[in-house]
Each structure stands twice: as structure tokens, then as C-alpha cells.
């Protein structure tokens, strides 16, 4: 237990000092701060567009945005978690492994009677703690900005929903931390180690959803999950590959938590997919052979 805590503490310390994740963290937090303003501006315009449409007598449909939750202002946060958050998590994971391999730290530690699983779990938990800190700052930023925009302090239910959103976001990002760590442990060069999780991320976020929905890659950068396309091929692909589209599942789960449309029954599948994704990635990491963890990186 003592070793585990030492590894966790060391990992938090080095994660905070590492320049690459820190740079991405600054971009991430900056965009989280900006997302509420973007959400508010867009919401104001959309409401004005609807009022204009109504005034011109072009529709009799109800305003799709009347009575929407104030949490809607953070809808852009969802996409920043998928874009910047997932990259930040992957890169943090890669660096966590590469640091040890470059300095031969892992080799030295594992020359002592320390279990490989315990060591890797400690590193993963250390990264997870650091990431939880980043997400906590994001949650507080969202809570403050929504309170400022609406002119009243966000109620405890809204606050709890923000925390739940970041809770599932943390699980989602931990999957990418694990992927990054695996890549960092198994790659022969730094560039390859960084690129492989980014490629996996691109496949999960763009290619897999496109095969099931026929949505274009750029439209998948929208926080609203793409609806499944009709037609035998797409339905078949959606059935087979749908569970792998973790980015789309994160959008669906977030939509339920942030009161922007999805029901609990649809979102429950997405929650399960995200948790399974994180568990599988962590299991792959923890199953890394001792010799691989001890291997040094010489470029």
C-alpha cells in the first residue's frame, strides 16, 4: 500500500511538471472558460432566429429552446472533452510511460519486489488524480460562468449534474490515459508513441461513427450526437460498430446529464459503453508484461 501511494504521489508531481500535458491543459481550461460564452451567444441568436421565423409567419412549431436548462450553456464543453480532453488524456498517458522509460525509473523500481500491476495501477491512479483536479477546475469554471450568465446562482441540482457530467467525463478520459500509457510502454520512438493513441482516437471519434451514420467528419465536431442513417448497410454497421463510437456515446450521456434531450433509457447504454471502454483500456494496461514496463527508450 505504501508503494502504491508513493507511486501515485510521484506521478501527480511529475504530471504537473510535464510541459506537454500542461500546455494542452491550458488550452483545455481556456476553451472550457470560453465555451459558456459561446453557448450563451449562440443560444441568444437561435432564440432571436426563432422569434424572427415566428414573426414572419413561417412556422407554427413550438420554440425548440423554450424552457431549456441553463446547463445548455455548457453544451460546447462536451465537444471540448472529446477533442481536447481526450488528446490531453492520451498525451498525459504517453508522457507518463515515456518519462520512466527515458530515465530508466521503471527499470530501477521494478528491480525491487514491487508488483507490475501495483506499479502501473499507481501510475494510472496518479494520472487520474491529476486529471480529476483539472476537471474539478473546469466544473467550477462552468458553475461560475453559468451563474454569471443567468444572473442567479445555479441551484444544487444543476451543480450536481455538472459534477456527474465531469464524473462520467473522467471515466471517459481515463480510457484514453490508459491507451496513452500502453502506447508509451510499447512504442519504439516518441513520435510513434504520441501518434498511435491519436490515431485510435481519430478512428473512434470520426471513422466509426461515420460508418454507422454516414455523417461527415467535420459534422461530428458538433456536440449533438449524429442520428443513425437509414438503410441496411448503415444499420448493420451501427449494430456492430456502434459500441465503439465512444465519442458519440459520450455526447449522448452528456445530453442526458445536461438536460439537452436524451432520455435515461437511451443514455444508460452510453454510460455502460463508456465504463466498459475505460475498464478494457485499463485492463490492457495492467496486463503489460514486466519486461515491457522495464524496457528503456533510446532515440
Partner 1 sequence: MNSLTVHFGKEITDIRRNRFFILLLGFLTLIMVISVIVSALDFRTKMADYTLYLDALVKSGSTEVPPAPPLYPLQLLRGSIEYLELLGALFAIILGYRMIAKDKGSGTTPLVFTRPHSRFSMSGAKLLATAAIWGTVVVIVFVIMVLALIGVGTAILSPQDFSRVALSGFYAWLYLTFWSALAMGLVALTKRLSTGLIAALVIWLIVVLVIPQIGDTMDPDNQVPGGLFKSLQIGKADEVAVTAHFSGFETARDQIEISSITKHYERTTFAFLGIKDLYNQQPLGDVWLALLPNTITLAAGFLAAVAFALLSTVKRTLLRKES
Binding site for partner 1 (CB under 8 A): 19-20, 23-24, 27, 31, 38, 41-42, 45-46, 48-50, 52-53, 56, 58-59, 61, 64-65, 75-76, 79, 83-84, 87, 190-192, 194-195, 198-199, 202, 206-207, 210-211, 214, 216-219, 221-227, 229-234, 261, 299
For residue 202, which of 250, 247, 162 has the smallest C-alpha distance? Answer: 247
Which of 151, 122, 172 is closest to 13 using CA atoms? 122
Residue 22: all three cell numbers together = 500542461
Rounded-to-integer distance, Cα 28 and Cα 107, Å? 33
C-beta closer to partner 1: residue 119 or 176: 176
Between residues 66 and 112, which has the closer beta carbon with respect to partner 1?
A: 66
Distances (CA, A) of 42 to 38, 100, 144, 189: 6, 45, 19, 43
- The residue (of 230 and 265) whose beta carbon lies closer to partner 1 is 230
**Residue 30 or residue 289: which is nearer to partner 1 going by CB?**
30
Residues 6+ apart with CB under 8 A from 118: 3, 4, 7
**Nearest-approach distance from CB 94 to partner 1, in angstroms:** 11
Minimum CB separation of residue 247 from partner 1 in Å reads 13
Query: Which CB, 52 or 152, lies closer to partner 1?
Result: 52
Integer Cα distance of 182 and 195 in angstroms: 12
Are 109 and 298 in contact, with CB atoms under 8 Å apart? Answer: no
Shortest Å, Cβ 290 to partner 1: 26
Task: Give the integer Cα–Cα distance in Å for 85 and 72.
Answer: 19
Minimum distance from residue 187 beta carbon to partner 1 (Å): 10
Task: Provide, rounded to whole angstroms, the least separation between the CB of residue 59 and partner 1.
Answer: 4
Smallest gap from residue 286 Cβ to partner 1 (A):
27
24 versus 245: smaller Cβ distance to partner 1: 24
Q: Which residues contact 251 (CB under 8 A, 6 or more apart)?
A: 78, 79, 82, 223, 224, 225
Distance CA 164, CA 142 (A): 13
Q: Which is nearer to partner 1, 11 or 248 (CB)?
A: 248
Closest CB to partner 1 among residues 9, 216: 216
Kindly state the smallest distance separating residue 49's Cβ from partner 1, in Å.
5
Smallest separation (angstroms) from partner 1 to the CB of 115: 31
Residue 134 is inside which H or E element, if any? helix 116-150
At a CB cut-off of 8 Å and minimum separation 6, what does 154 contact? 70, 143, 146, 147, 162
Amino acid at each position: 500500500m505504501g508503494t502504491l501511494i508513493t507511486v501515485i504521489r510521484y506521478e501527480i508531481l511529475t504530471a504537473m511538471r510535464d510541459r506537454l500535458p500542461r500546455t494542452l491543459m491550458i488550452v483545455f481550461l481556456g476553451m472550457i472558460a470560453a465555451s459558456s460564452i459561446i453557448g450563451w451567444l449562440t443560444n441568444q441568436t437561435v432564440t432571436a432566429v426563432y422569434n424572427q421565423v415566428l414573426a414572419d409567419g413561417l412556422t407554427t412549431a413550438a420554440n425548440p429552446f423554450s424552457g431549456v436548462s441553463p446547463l445548455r450553456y455548457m453544451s460546447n464543453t462536451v465537444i471540448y472533452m472529446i477533442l481536447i480532453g481526450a488528446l490531453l488524456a492520451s498525451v498525459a498517458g504517453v508522457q507518463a510511460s515515456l518519462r520512466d522509460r527515458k530515465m530508466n525509473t521503471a527499470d530501477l523500481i521494478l528491480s525491487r519486489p514491487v508488483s507490475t500491476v501495483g506499479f502501473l495501477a499507481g501510475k494510472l491512479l496518479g494520472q487520474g488524480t491529476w486529471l480529476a483536479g483539472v476537471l474539478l477546475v473546469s466544473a467550477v469554471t462552468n458553475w461560475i460562468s453559468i451563474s454569471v450568465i443567468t444572473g442567479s446562482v445555479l441551484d444544487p441540482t444543476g451543480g450536481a449534474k455538472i459534477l456527474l457530467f465531469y464524473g462520467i467525463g473522467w471515466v471517459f478520459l481515463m480510457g484514453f490515459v490508459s491507451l496513452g500509457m500502453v502506447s508509451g510502454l510499447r512504442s519504439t520512438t516518441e513520435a510513434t508513441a504520441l501518434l498511435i493513441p491519436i490515431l485510435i482516437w481519430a478512428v473512434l471519434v470520426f471513422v466509426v461513427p461515420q460508418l454507422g451514420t454516414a455523417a461527415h467528419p467535420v459534422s461530428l465536431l458538433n456536440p449533438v450526437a449524429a442520428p443513425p442513417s437509414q438503410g441496411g448497410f448503415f444499420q448493420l454497421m451501427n449494430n456492430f460498430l456502434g459500441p465503439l463510437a465512444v465519442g458519440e456515446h459520450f455526447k449522448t450521456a452528456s445530453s442526458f446529464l445536461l438536460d439537452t434531450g436524451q432520455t435515461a433509457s437511451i443514455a444508460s447504454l452510453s454510460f455502460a459503453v463508456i465504463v466498459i471502454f475505460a475498464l478494457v483500456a485499463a485492463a490492457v494496461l495492467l496486463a503489460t508484461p514486466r519486461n515491457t514496463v522495464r524496457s528503456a527508450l533510446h532515440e
